[in-house]
């Protein structure tokens, strides 16, 4: 539980904001020096996502996606814009969103909104998104704020829409990272928060071919 490792909620959020303001607005900055894993990450995410976009009665639409914790738009550029008509981006760091406008190039014209906001304070527009993609950012939310945010995401989905979380998973319990002011939860804790938000888990997958020294990364799809 984050309540056991986060002593001061205000400090937890403000320290993270300050940390990201110092991070270079580059792919390497977004990935903490691991820019070489970007293609492996994107290719796996695309395969995972496409199983929901295939033909069928419950097929997820491709009209609009939301990239949460979007940074400069690495995922928007390489995963979401090729698959969706329009994308919205939300990130707490204005400099990243400003950089995104040049980083995304011509295709960036299909980004409708750049929201500068922490996810604890962000509400997706109801009934608006086919896919809400949340990657490497849930550690910056307390358990309560994550659960509440996921509830708002659920309300933000269009029919047959899905919420996707892709993130680091601890082996056991909840681990605090004082450097970037984030937490890493184990699988059971994340699953409990998902259930608490009233979401049903559709798929869960461990990322393969990442460096051994980093946390295991899992992807969850839910609605």
199 is in an annotated binding site: no
26 is in an annotated binding site: no
139 is in an annotated binding site: no
Backbone φ and ψ for 34, nearest 5 degrees, come out as: -110, 40
Cα–Cα distance list, 199 to 139, 147, 194 (Å): 19, 10, 6
91 is in an annotated binding site: yes
120 is in an annotated binding site: yes
74 is in an annotated binding site: yes
Q: Annotated binding site: which residue ranges?
A: 69, 74, 91-93, 119-120, 135
Q: Annotated binding site for S-adenosyl-L-methionine: which residue ranges?
A: 69, 74, 91-93, 119-120, 135
């Amino acid at each position: 539980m984050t309540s056991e490792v986060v002593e001061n909620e205000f400090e937890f959020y403000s320290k993270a904001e300050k940390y990201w303001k110092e991070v270079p607005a580059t792919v390497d900055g977004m990935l903490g020096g691991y820019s070489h894993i970007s293609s492996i990450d994107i290719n796996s995410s695309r395969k995972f996502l496409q199983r929901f976009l295939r033909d069928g009665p419950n097929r997820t639409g491709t009209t609009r996606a939301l990239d949460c914790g979007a940074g400069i738009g690495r995922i928007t550029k390489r995963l979401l814009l090729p698959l969706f008509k329009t994308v919205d981006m939300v990130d707490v760091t204005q400099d990243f969103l400003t950089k995104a406008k040049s980083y995304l190039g011509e295709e960036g014209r299909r980004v409708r909104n750049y929201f500068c906001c922490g996810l604890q304070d962000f509400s997706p527009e109801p009934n608006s998104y086919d896919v809400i993609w949340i990657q490497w950012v849930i550690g910056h939310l307390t358990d309560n704020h994550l659960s509440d945010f996921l509830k708002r995401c659920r309300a933000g989905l269009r029919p047959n829409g899905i919420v996707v979380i892709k993130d680091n998973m601890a082996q056991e319990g909840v681990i605090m990272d004082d450097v970037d002011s984030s937490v890493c939860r184990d699988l059971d804790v994340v699953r409990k928060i998902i259930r608490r938000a009233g979401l049903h888990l559709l798929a869960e997958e461990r990322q393969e071919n990442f460096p051994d020294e980093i946390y295991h990364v899992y992807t969850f799809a839910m609605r």
